[in-house]
A and B are shown apart, each in its own frame.
Chain A
Amino acid sequence: QQQVKQSPQSLIVQKGGIPIINCAYENTAFDYFPWYQQFPGKGPALLIAIRPDVSEKKEGRFTISFNKSAKQFSLHIMDSQPGDSATYFCAASPNTGNQFYFGTGTSLTVIP
């Protein structure tokens, strides 16, 4: 079964909008939650990551919000640009190793 559930499957926003991608998990052993960005023809690249001891992390225009009690985390992209158009994957890893479980991906399109 899918260990990390991601939504929506696709998202279209206008330039400058704030797309939000959500992920949920059940396994309380997960202790590291990265987001990966994938452009067509490329492998995924690490974008930003968070641990459960903080509720929010910002890196540039990208913010992760983390709700430990709800077992949910989300990616917000501020002032989105057409160059942000890509597929985004959330992931989670247990504290026993660095095997990752990935969400099903969100295809983001930012319209100029």
Chain B
Amino acid sequence: DVKVTQSSRYLVKRTGEKVFLECVQDMDHENMFWYRQDPGLGLRLIYFSYDVKMKEKGDIPEGYSVSREKKERFSLILESASTNQTSMYLCASSPPWEYGYTFGSGTRLTVV
């Protein structure tokens, strides 16, 4: 069964900390995405990547950066965590020739 694995289900961090959210997929997909999910706002795209070392800004990239050094791994980085970054973070991947994502189970991040 294909999988997108997010390293942490729950995370609590302090304001100002640098936070790393890790995502690994085992499907050899080229495309990977980071979304945040907030009640009433749905899923909003933060960053995405179509290939190793490539990255593109989504709709809400401010305060975030990403890293993709290997095809299977896509990391989301909060440079200096703030309370308004408390959210559910979802990673997804897809091959370039198909529509439709496979999502991970999400990381619920709380910044205190």
Contacts and interface: CB of A to CB of B under 8 A. Distances in A.
Interface residues of B, number: 25
Contacts of A89: 42-43
Contacts of A42: 105-106
Interface centre among A36, A46, A100, A102 (most CB of B within 10 A): A100
Given A98-B94, A98-B96, A99-B48, A46 B101 contact: yes
Contacts of A105: 42
Contacts, number: 52
Contact of B105 (A32, A34, A43): A43
Range for the number of chain A residues in contact with chain B:
20 to 34
Interface centre among A45, A98, A104 (most CB of B within 10 A): A98
B61 interface: no
Contact of A102 (B42, B96, B102): B42
B43 A43 contact: no
B45 interface: yes
Given A43-B4, A98-B94, A104 B104 contact: no
Given A43-B4, A43-B104, A43-B106, A98 B99 contact: yes
